[in-house]
Amino acid sequence: MGLPRSGARRLPGLRRSEVAALAGISPEYYTRLEQGRQRHPSAEVLDSLASALRLDADARRHLHRLTLRASRRGESGGDAAGDPLRVPAATLRLLRTTTVWPAYVVSPVRDVLAWNDAAARLITDFAALSVPHRNLAWFAYADPYSRELFVDWDAVARGNAHRLRDALAADPHQVRGNRLVAELAARSAEFAAAWEDHDVRGPGTGHKDLDHPVAGRLRLDYTVYVLPGAQALELVVMTAPEDSPSYRALETGTAAGPG
């Protein structure tokens, strides 16, 4: 890592002085940052620290977000309810007219706010769920069907837990998010363990393998689009190559939900 050799140490990991050296800052300044006594580091300092600590893109973004939150602490009135979440009319229109690809809109804390029929057929009948339980993290950890549906259930579940932690890093006083975390932690030891990972994840792309009760094994690509506006809503669209069995199952409506 570009550091000179030193004597044997009792604990693994980098010393403060080593992190500071790699980041190009003084050990004293790094100590003040670590202890919360320096709340306004520049973006360049944060990027240097992220590189020194070998943070990935999500963790780097999380570091910037945490620092911004600390710098603003005490400036606002605390737990404001904020504006109600509203899905843009154009996005609702897109959902109504998209018939093959499953698509839905989620809030930062994973609440499903709107969806098309294809998503309901593929995943679950969101309309049949109570509003507090119309949530991807809740579905993953509290609905046994999710374990049957997702081939790599653990990765899907943990991904939702880490996205939830990322949302609460941006808005730690949010009532809905904190209540959801408390309920899931009390209900699921697996969620509690994932939450204690302290991992975060941002929006992105990838694929999911599903064992659908009617359509069988499906492999779908997903893309997350962050909608314009301050509420950080996300449109998730799942697709498959047109020549694949997964596409044919979606096109013919074979992927109909249980029950």
Q: Is the pLDDT of residue 159 over 60?
A: yes
The pLDDT confidence band at residue 21, using thresholds 50, 70 and 90, is confident
Question: What is the average pLDDT across 193-206?
Answer: 82
Region for 82 from its dihedrals, namely left if φ exceeds 0, alpha if ψ lies in -120 to 50, beta otherwise: left
User: pLDDT digits over 110-150, tens only?
Assistant: 999 999 999 999 999 999 999 999 999 999 999 999 999 99
The reply to whether the predicted model has a pTM over 0.85 is no
In angstroms, the Cα distances linking 81 to 84, 176, 229 are 8, 10, 17
Q: How many CA atoms within 13 Å lie on the side-chain side of 15?
A: 14
The CATH number of the structural domain formed by 89-252 is 3.30.450.180
The pLDDT confidence band at residue 13, using thresholds 50, 70 and 90, is low
User: pLDDT digits over 28-87, tens only?
Assistant: 777 777 666 666 677 777 777 777 777 777 667 666 656 655 444 433 333 334 567 899
Ordered by start, the domain boundaries in the chain are: 16-72, 89-252
147 and 206 Cβ atoms separated by less than 8 Å = no
User: pLDDT digits over 71-112, tens only?
Assistant: 444 333 333 345 678 999 999 999 999 999 999 999 999 999
For residue 101, the SS3 value is coil
